[in-house]
Amino acid sequence: MKVLVTGGCGYIGAHTIVDLINNGFDVVSVDSNIRSTTQLLDGIEKITGKKVRNYKVDLCNLEDTHAVFHENRDIVGVIHFAALKTVPESVADPLLYFHNNLTSLVNVLKCVKEFNIPNLVFSSSCSVYGNTKALPVVEETPIGEAQSPYARTKQMGEQIIEDYSHVNDTQSIILRYFNPVGAHPSGLIGELPLGKPDNLVPVITQTAIGKIPKMTVFGSDYDTRDGSCVRDYIHVTDIAAAHTKALQYLLDHKNESNCEIFNLGTGNGVTVLEAILAFEKISGVKLNYVMGPRRPGDVIAIYANNSKAKEKLGWLPQIGIEDCMRTAWQWEVSLRNKVLSN
């Protein structure tokens, strides 16, 4: 059974491709490489022994997207990861985010409809909940005010899929990720931000290795146990496994409606300072960081109630914060070793 993965050269897409292949699926990827290279495809091949084809296509281009679907009419589903994901960048350039994230989604849906693709899985984010006080969040927690244009593209993306699902036969699952971190235990694939990273864990590992001289923790006066933001850090291979399970759930017709939503988090809230401590403990490296002002677009605290995904998808996150940091650090070190050996 063949699956089309958009954004397959990216961080979560690449880990999910490995999980899909390990569970017997064939995969093709569509990725314009606007925020990636093909490096992770080499890692996927080393891990799985399978070479994955990537169509270097911008999904905002309907004609090119259509051509990919036309060539792959036998797919059983689409997992749509491709999007821009950087909160501060979206605050600075909202139109870039609305154009890229929404046009690509609409084009994918147009092709899904035309080629009668039965199943769709969409990458959403806990950012759709905004600054909610009701923690941990359940899927029914009301959508809050978006704190960034990025978050708004996820809210709108979910709405577009829900409206589409009301009048079409496609079965959809929306997965709301909390904070995906870490890397594949092989050390062969991991997060590979182009340019300066904005997510906490690559900032930590790049600071520890010396690529970033000093890191800033944004906000020390939030109403949390140590003043820094609280997040639910979930290992990327746990996130990846949930996609295979979600697709299988749809293939087995276990869904109760045309569009279902699942939270993907561990259920544990960890502060930024606690995450730094966990990193220092597993790596033995003292991080050079300073406390700075709050960053526009950041929510204060969020963590998941993940009961629905556990019960219905049979998914169980396996990896805790220290192993998240350990695999992320192993990946950063392997990147440095690769540079040194070239």
Ligand X SMILES: NC(=O)c1ccc[n+]([C@@H]2O[C@H](COP(=O)([O-])OP(=O)(O)OC[C@H]3O[C@@H](n4cnc5c(N)ncnc54)[C@H](O)[C@@H]3O)[C@@H](O)[C@H]2O)c1
Which tokens go with 154?
């996820």
DSSP state of 52: P
User: Burial level of 291, CB count in 10 A (0-12/13-18/19+)?
Assistant: middle
150 is known as an active-site residue: yes
User: Of the two residues 36 and 330, which places its CB atom closer to ligand X in the complex?
Assistant: 36
Is residue 104 a contact residue for ligand X (CB under 6 A)? yes
Give the helix/strand (H/E) hosting 116: none
Give the helix/strand (H/E) hosting 298: none
Query: How far is residue 48 CA from its own chain's centroid?
Result: 21
Contact 91, 296 (CB under 8 A): yes
- Which residue from 97, 177, 249, 315 is in contact with ligand X, where contact means CB under 6 A? 177
Minimum Å gap between C-beta 82 and ligand X is 4
Is residue 69 a contact residue for ligand X (CB under 6 A)? no
Compute the CA torsion angle 276, 281, 284, 285 (nearest 10 deg).
Answer: 10
Give the interface segment with ligand X, choosing from 176-184, 204-212, 282-290, 318-326 (CB under 6 A): 176-184
Minimum Å gap between C-beta 284 and ligand X is 26
- Which residue from 199, 216, 258, 334 is in contact with ligand X, where contact means CB under 6 A? 199
Chain positions 237 to 266 lying near ligand X, rule: CB under 6 A, are none
Minimum Å gap between C-beta 6 and ligand X is 6
Minimum Å gap between C-beta 220 and ligand X is 22
Minimum Å gap between C-beta 214 and ligand X is 23
Give the interface segment with ligand X, choosing from 54-62, 129-137, 166-174, 220-228 (CB under 6 A): 54-62
- Which residue from 31, 232, 238, 298 is in contact with ligand X, where contact means CB under 6 A? 31
Which sign, positive or negative, has the C-alpha torsion 151, 108, 238, 339?
A: negative
Cα distance between residue 161 and residue 239, in whole Å: 21
Q: What are phi and psi of 70, to 5 degrees?
A: -60, -40
DSSP state of 301: B
Chain positions 113 to 172 lying near ligand X, rule: CB under 6 A, are 123, 125
Cα distance between residue 67 and residue 65, in whole Å: 5
Q: Helix, strand or coil for residue 166? A: helix
Cα distance between residue 247 and residue 112, in whole Å: 15
Please tell me whether the peptide bond between 213 and the residue prior to it is cis, using omega within 30 degrees of 0: no
- Which residue from 180, 190, 265, 269 is in contact with ligand X, where contact means CB under 6 A? 180
Count of positions on this chain that bind ligand X (CB under 6 A): 29
Minimum Å gap between C-beta 195 and ligand X is 11
Is residue 33 a contact residue for ligand X (CB under 6 A)? yes
- Which residue from 83, 120, 299, 313 is in contact with ligand X, where contact means CB under 6 A? 83
- Which residue from 7, 77, 144, 297 is in contact with ligand X, where contact means CB under 6 A? 7
Give the helix/strand (H/E) hosting 271: strand 270-271
- Which residue from 4, 20, 28, 59 is in contact with ligand X, where contact means CB under 6 A? 59
Q: What are phi and psi of 5, to 5 degrees?
A: -110, 120
Give the interface segment with ligand X, choosing from 80-88, 211-219, 270-278, 305-313 (CB under 6 A): 80-88
Q: Which residues are catalytic?
A: 150
Binding residues for ligand X, per CB under 6 A?
7, 9-13, 30-36, 58-60, 81-85, 100, 104, 123, 125, 177, 179-180, 199
